[in-house]
Chain A
Amino acid sequence: MNPTRIRSVLAIGAALALALLPLGSGPAAQGKGTIKIATQSPLSGGQAALGEGIKLGTQLAVEKFKGNLEKAGFRVELVPYDDQAKPDVGVANAKNIIADKNIMVVIGHLNSGVAIPSSEVYKEDSLPMISPANTNEKVTDRGYPNVNRVCGRDDVQGPVGAEFAAGTLKVKTAYVLHDKTTYGQGVAEAFKKDLEKKGVKIIGFEGTEEKSNFDPIITPIKAKNPDLVYFGGIYDQGAPFFKQAREKGVKAKFLGPDGMDSSDFVKIGGKVVVGTYYTTAAAPASSPQAKQFGEEFKKKYGKNPEPYAAESYVATAIAIKALEDVTKGGKAPTREAVAASIRKVKYNGMTGTIEFDDKGDPKKASYYVMQVSSDNPEKWSENKEAKRLAIAAPAMKK
């Protein structure tokens, strides 16, 4: 054998050893066995603040509600996965998740663009997923029996924004931007369509992947002087955009979807983005139950819950309730049974009563329009509620 040959044989050997490794460390079933609850959310990268919130919200709920399952003889474990907000990473994780037969439910994701392809993988093995944050309509409109969400939908979030812009702010002209992602473009298009129906003139509609230099996009906006600028996207792009626009002298009111709903929005944007409106399906922290959750969260993790931490908590509570039903009498749960059971749960929590319809949407979801009221990131949870609407999810489109 020549040296290259030896090296390639070694490389193949090493690869094989790596591939076989997980088989060796398979879990030994003890007692009734282990039930794992997985989270998938970005734990690194620009959206890590929100992703971490999903993980911690789930963790809090697991610790609080696992008692009954443990009494029944199961070990309950949380396994967090980092999807890096990237579809390919999410799908790769999803394959690992369905391979781990102890995982009974996934709480995730943050990004619709990641949730949609990943849930195709979960569906292969009927692994139930409850999303705390994915508002894209396709998430549930595929009608999968294992896919659910506790939050609202883009095609409703857009109209909520439009209702607020036309009805409350009474704007005449609007300029709409989006980040070209499934989420951002989806919500921006829904917003635009509804706003046009209400007679507001859309004087610009554009997508951009730019993250730092918005000058050339802002110049025409400033010249056209719209009453409202809407950015469909996430705060790591929305905040610098709104900041630069305001600094450049754009006088319009600013509105965005729930992607702006993070304390990092003011950390990045600073003083000039105070007053920005955003629509969200995440309940404001002002209700008594939400306050209590916020206090527990802060006590445990030393920081305020990010948006969707509460939704993750609720989603986990629902999952555990379903698991309790399935394991009644000490039966080992199956993924199909858990998925079916989730659809039957009626849960009354801090985001209102949640009951899933036949495609996994909450039968009635609340939507809020919030206004940023301070440039102090610590005070993000004190943002003012400007409007609240309860809207039923639209029926499945055939």
Chain B
Amino acid sequence: MVDRDAAADRPMDFELLVGIFPQVLLDGLLLGFMYALIALGYTMVYGVLEFINFAHSEIFIVGAFVGVEILLSLKNVGVLETLPWPLVLLGVMLAGMLASGALAVSIERIAYRPLRAAPRLIPLISAIGMSFFLQDVIRLVESLWRNAFNLVYPTLEPLNVRYELTSTIDVSAKSLVVIVAALLMLWGLHALVNRTKIGTAIRAVAEDQAAASLMGIDVNRIISLTFLIGGAMGGAAGVLFGVQYSLINPYTGFIPGLKAFTAAVLGGIGNIPGAMLGGIVLGLLEAFAASYLSLLTGGAFGAEYKDIFAFSVLILILIFRPKGLLGEVVRERA
């Protein structure tokens, strides 16, 4: 493919490489915050139970579905345009958080708690089964209810406004909303875990369940609470994902869920700031790979190699830091 090289060698290319840098950075950050929000669900559960909740990708997408259902009903009643958008968005996010949180708690109660004493692999398989089960339940419900597979988020017009920073860089209002909402939630969670009594209890259960229960902590309750918080974060991420990328289907959650799990491992699974850092690093890696690979290699490697590139970097990082970027904070369990 000689022609591609000719196209890539044009003198404007260096300018172009530098020119798109801020935009790519922005795209990557946005994606990264999305991953970070989902990754929290994986990492919180792991921190407390040392168990990977593979059903979290569906908990996440349920939030998105609850969001789209509410927005579509508002639109049908004709009040979507008249209500102030921050109110709508906040309400939809809260509903998504509630639904996903409740779902996560019930999954734990039904599918994980009876297996808590079983060998590690058993609840893991239960979680994978739960994930498939939920995917098809969502598919069933949506096809009975709307006879649709792909659902589209109704646009909130004020969120579609784009702010032009320079001629090549612009940012949409919804991206800003996603970033701000993610930052607020991450900060809130951090404060909750580190500065409140509940947070102390969560950390105590994570460190040693037996000792925590001797200190008068209701371990089951704290575990439920952990699922509630992780699930709620996932639900909020689901709504934000829908608002940002607009198209969802019952299987949409799987890939972002897998990436977020990766982000959690990259940051050091079980570690909350680690999940945030891991998410952002993975988001940036992906965005830079997708935008730059083809430009830098003259078209030999295109955007389709973004995951290979991102995951190669991940493997390298894990070779040198097996416990993840912030992994040393993970405490050994007694």
Q: A residues bordering B, Cβ < 8 Å?
A: 44-46, 48-49, 180, 196, 201-213, 215-217, 219-220, 222-224, 236, 239-240, 243-244, 247-249, 264, 267-268, 270
Contact = CB atoms under 8 A, between A and B. Distances in A.
Contacts of B28: 216
Contact of A216 (B16, B172, B255, B306): B306
B299 interface: yes
Given A204-B299, A207-B302, A223 B20 contact: yes
B38 to A, nearest CB: 13
Interface stretch (B90-98, B105-113, B195-203, B286-294): B286-294
A207 B304 contact: yes
A215 B26 CA distance: 10
Nearest to A52: B147
A212 B4 contact: no
Contacts of B24: 216, 219
A203 B255 CA distance: 29
Contact of A247 (B7, B172, B252): B172
B149 interface: yes
A264 B247 CA distance: 11
Contacts of B150: 46, 236, 264, 267-268
Nearest to A177: B303
A239 B249 CA distance: 14
Find the residue from A216, A243, A268 having the highest chain B CB count within 10 A.
A216
B304 A180 contact: yes
Given A223-B16, A223-B168, A216 B27 contact: yes
Given A216-B28, A220-B294, A268 B152 contact: yes
A201 B12 CA distance: 15
Interface string B226-248: 00000000000000010011110
B332 interface: no
B178 to A, nearest CB: 11
A203 B6 CA distance: 9
Interface string B280-316: 0000001111111011000100111010000000000
B294 A206 contact: yes
B302 A206 contact: yes
A219 B23 contact: yes
B327 interface: no
A208 B30 CA distance: 19
B27 A219 contact: yes
Nearest to B293: A206
Contact of A46 (B143, B172, B249): B249
Contacts of A204: 7, 294, 299
Given A206-B303, A268-B152, A215 B20 contact: no
Given A217-B291, A222-B20, 20 more contacts: A45-B149, A206-B299, A207-B304, A208-B302, A209-B304, A210-B290, A211-B255, A212-B245, A212-B256, A216-B290, A216-B306, A219-B20, A219-B291, A220-B16, A223-B20, A240-B246, A248-B162, A267-B150, A268-B246, A270-B155
Given A207-B304, A216-B27, A240-B245, A270 B152 contact: yes
B139 interface: yes
A243 B246 contact: yes
Contacts, number: 113
B73 interface: no
Contacts of B302: 205-208
B4 A205 contact: yes
Given A46-B150, A216-B286, A224-B16, A205 B245 contact: no
Nearest to A239: B247
A223 B19 contact: yes
A212 B241 contact: yes
Q: 8 closest Cβ contacts across the A-B interface?
A: A216-B290, A206-B302, A215-B27, A212-B245, A216-B287, A207-B304, A216-B291, A240-B247
Give the interface SS of chain B, mostly helix, strand, loop or mixed: helix
Contacts of B244: 213
B213 interface: no
Interface string B250-280: 0010011000000000000000000000000
Contacts of A48: 149
Contacts of A196: 3
Contacts of B139: 44
Interface string B6-25: 01000000001001100110
B303 A213 contact: no
B170 interface: yes
B131 to A, nearest CB: 17
Contacts of A212: 241, 245, 247, 252, 256
A38 to B, nearest CB: 23
Contact of A208 (B20, B246, B304): B304
B107 to A, nearest CB: 24
Given A44-B149, A212-B241, A268-B152, A203 B27 contact: no
Contacts of A264: 150
B135 to A, nearest CB: 11
B299 A213 contact: no
Nearest to A45: B149
B31 interface: yes
Nearest to B24: A219
Contacts of A240: 245-247
B7 A202 contact: yes
Contacts of A206: 294, 299, 302-304
B160 interface: yes
Contacts of B306: 216
Contacts of B27: 215-216, 219
B249 A208 contact: no
Contacts of B3: 196, 202
Contacts of B160: 247
A211 B20 contact: no
A204 B170 CA distance: 22
A210 B27 CA distance: 15
A248 B170 CA distance: 8
A308 to B, nearest CB: 17
B252 A211 contact: yes
B94 to A, nearest CB: 23
